[in-house]
Homo-oligomer: A and B are copies of this chain.
Amino acid sequence: MVIFQPSGSRGRVKDGTTIVDASRQLGVELESVCGEQATCGKCKVRIEEGFFERFGIESSTDHLSPIEEREKKFFAKHTELKGYRLSCVTEIRGDVLIFVPEESRKGKQVVRKAATDRKIDVNPAVRNYYVELAAATLEDTTGDWERIGQALKAQHGLEELAIDYRTLLTLQETVRKGDWKVTVSVWMGKEVIAVQPGRVEESYGLAVDVGTTTVAGYLCELSSGKLLATDSMMNPQVTFGEDVMSRITYAMTHKDGLKRMNDAIVQGLNRLAGQVAAQAGIKRRDIVDFTIVGNTAMHHIYMNIYPVYIGKAPFPPALHASIDVKARDMGLRISPGAYAHALPIEAGFVGADNVGVLIAEEPYKRDDMMLIIDIGTNGELVLGNKEKLISSSCATGPAFEGAHIKYGMRAAPGAIERVQIDPETKEPRYKVIGNDQWSDELKEMGARGICGSGIMDVVAQMYVSGIILKTGRINTELDHPRMREGEDGWEYVLAWADETAIGQDITVNQSDIRAVQLAKGAMYAGAKLMMRRLGIDKLDRVILAGAFGSYIDPRQAMIMGLFPDCDLEKVYAVGNAAGDGARIALLNVDKRREANEYARKVEYVELTVEQDFEKHFAQAMYFPHMKDEFPHLEGLIPESQTAR
């Protein structure tokens, strides 16, 4: 017997079932960010000892697989002693009582890589056509496919179509099931990729943005363009390396490295497709079109192309252009006849995700000098206007996606997403996803962690209020009840245990700050060197895109020094523009052409090889910058902090 507390769900599971699997079987919601890779540590549970013993049954802990080495890093010694285990690796081998702590309970997810509400002209690659056929008779034994071809010509004016091989295989069954009335899905006016019995108006497509750390999927109805469901997950490849270079290295140093990473992402994409399909009440195999974006390394890995040559000079990719391949050839389990459209890549690591940003933001149609910052584990920058566009990329790390931050979490209910700190009292107020009130209005906030926008806010506010210095060091000279030396060094208590849902203080510590500095410093230095390249000293406009873009506060971002000074009126967040670009390409074939055109026009610059990159990077680690002026921040940062 397995019992989950506090829900009380109970039942029997097969010996060897992991706790995560058991939770699914028994309908218990348990967090699993990393897809059971034992890398996120978010599925911790506590084994309640002594419960069964009271009834004369052996000890619960004997009924689990032994503690594994990879579990240990997620547990401070004392919690381990309390019987905590990682659900995704722990197997059940008998009766056990499991307590799911608040922080491990799955909330209804807020997709951090949420789709922005954009107006998209709809001109999809896949369109449905309903046809009525004359039944075969002894006088007319025309084959089913020719019969459909004739009807498509007579009833819709379509000619010279091919038929997908897999679709052909079930054609006769489908035609008879529909009593000689069927709906035919035609791709690009060229190929029949699906046939369904009867009349079917809707058709479905999935746009996917494969980030280094986070993967987001957008399920759309193709004829209306309507967004039906979104979902995200951690990129299962994180177990092979945190950033693009470490994944490329993994492929180079392991015989089956590429295969393993490709399998991981393909399985992840299938899971994601299943999730959004379930949300929309359709089947995964109803998905008849698919677009995908990602940086160059992600692109090569999800396409199953050996990424070694993009990891060493002179870094040429296998191809730049978009490519249409049968989704089944990639291992995707959507409609068997569907194509996957992989958007083009630019150069270096500036990949299809940035192309997505381009077709979403269209800087190539604008006069003003625009900087687009796409914030992710691999950050990408585009600078220019309709005259000229340059791009670059930099490794920022996953800090803004909640990873490598002690209380970092994804944008789910309970995540602190907004923070303000009173410069005088140093007391914070914050907002939590799923709750409209601020923490100074309500005692029990139910906070469980801090998501990306919350991290950006809290760091900026800690700087403004003098809790951290311009260098990023925590000001240990401040005597304040929220500041203390904890297990991981100095930290600032953002939320007291009694305000949280996890029963412990939520803090920001020195290493959290360092992770943010590295990320923002790389972005800033990149932007500055690109401005130098184009010979400009002022930005007309800054667009903040990325994983959490829609939640970012432009002012906090500039205070923190994510990008050079700009009129704050002209800085705005657009959400996950890469994902939006994938969605735009899904819904409009003209934009696919535009993507190919502009992907080739953007000029890639490799900034890290510039002589003085290191110097610029070091200067940009400061808040907001070691030397640069920020006229538009005047009055927003106290005098005491602007001096060094």
Q: CB distance A144 to B323 under 8 Å?
A: no
Closest CB in chain B relative to A603 CB, distance in Å: 11
Q: CB distance B144 to A316 under 8 Å?
A: yes
Is A309 part of the binding interface, using a Cβ–Cβ cutoff of 8 Å? Answer: yes
Interchain CA distance A309-B141 in the complex, whole Å: 11
What residues of B have a CB within 8 angstroms of the CB of A320 in the complex? Answer: 142-143, 145-146
CB within 8 Å for A313 and B138 given contacts A305-B168, A319-B146: yes
Q: Which of A169-177, A359-367, A391-399, A578-586 lies at the interface with chain B? A: A169-177
Q: CB distance B138 to A319 under 8 Å?
A: no
Q: Most chain-B CB neighbours within 10 Å: which of A172, A321, A348? A: A172
Give the interface size bracket for A toward B.
35 or more
Q: Interface digits, A294-324 against B, CB 8 Å rule (1 contact, 0 not)? A: 0000000001111001000111111111010
Is A234 part of the binding interface, using a Cβ–Cβ cutoff of 8 Å? Answer: no
Is A632 part of the binding interface, using a Cβ–Cβ cutoff of 8 Å? Answer: no
Is A326 part of the binding interface, using a Cβ–Cβ cutoff of 8 Å? Answer: yes
Copies in the complex: 2
Q: Which residue of B lies closest to A319 (CB)?
A: B145
Q: Interface digits, A342-368 against B, CB 8 Å rule (1 contact, 0 not)? A: 000001100000000000000000000
Is A518 part of the binding interface, using a Cβ–Cβ cutoff of 8 Å? Answer: no
Q: CB distance A146 to B321 under 8 Å?
A: yes
CB within 8 Å for A166 and B318 given contacts A138-B313, A173-B306, A313-B138: no
What residues of B have a CB within 8 angstroms of the CB of A347 in the complex? Answer: 141
Q: CB distance B304 to A169 under 8 Å?
A: yes
A4-34 contacts to B, CB under 8 A, are: none
Q: Which residue of B lies closest to A148 (CB)?
A: B319
Closest CB in chain B relative to A257 CB, distance in Å: 15
Is A165 part of the binding interface, using a Cβ–Cβ cutoff of 8 Å? Answer: yes
Closest CB in chain B relative to A325 CB, distance in Å: 4
Is A136 part of the binding interface, using a Cβ–Cβ cutoff of 8 Å? Answer: yes
Is A202 part of the binding interface, using a Cβ–Cβ cutoff of 8 Å? Answer: no
Is A611 part of the binding interface, using a Cβ–Cβ cutoff of 8 Å? Answer: no
Closest CB in chain B relative to A139 CB, distance in Å: 8
CB within 8 Å for A314 and B146 given contacts A165-B325, A165-B326: no
Interchain CA distance A306-B329 in the complex, whole Å: 23
Q: Which residue of B lies closest to A149 (CB)?
A: B321
- Given A141-B317, A165-B326, A172-B318, list of 6 further CB < 8 A pairs? A140-B314, A144-B318, A145-B319, A147-B316, A163-B319, A172-B309
Residues of A that sit less than 8 Å from B by CB? 136-138, 140-147, 163, 165-166, 168-169, 171-173, 176, 303-306, 309, 313-321, 323, 325-326, 329-330, 347-348, 604
Q: What are 5 A-B contacts with C-beta separation under 8 Å?
A: A136-B314, A142-B320, A144-B317, A172-B316, A173-B306
